[in-house]
Amino acid sequence: MRRESHPTDERPIAYPIEYTGPSTFIKSFNGTGFGMVFEDDGETGYLYATNEKADKIFDALHLYNSKSPNKLSSHDKLFIVWNPKMEKAGIFYHNQFQAVVDFKNQLGCCRTGFPPKFGTWCRSLHTWNDEIVKGLE
């Protein structure tokens, strides 16, 4: 998905998704080389920070396990949300952001804090940080 960004447009861009069950893959790309992929394989839910082709994973953020009370159910609504400058994105469901990636500063966090680190791209330990959500609300 692409959207032109204009200097006077300061609202986050939210892409709504209806969850349809395990094995769902959702991609939302910002047109500047970065993207987000949501994956639920029936056992776990993850959000991946990728390049625009989705052939390279920069970061992986755990969202839930199959027995978690925070897991998605059929027909739940979720949103991939980009900030106005298209430098930061997060996944929003159950009335709160569950994971956020700041591409500009190479930071990522999720409510589970797992895994503590993924690869060398991300400069943070995935511990939840309310500050990173700024610009996505």
Domain ranges for the chain: 15-133
pLDDT per residue over 13-66, tens digit each? 999 999 999 988 888 787 788 999 999 999 999 999 999 888 899 999 999 999
Q: What predicted TM-score, i.e. pTM, was given to this entire model?
A: 0.89
Choice between 5 and 20, residue whose per-residue pLDDT is larger: 20
pLDDT on residue 52: 87
What is the rounded distance in angstroms from the CA atom of residue 74 to the CA atom of residue 101? 25
Rounded to an integer, what distance in angstroms lies between the CA atom of residue 33 and that of residue 91? 18
User: Which pLDDT value is given to residue 66?
Assistant: 94
Per-residue model confidence as pLDDT tens digits over 95-115: 999 999 999 999 999 999 999
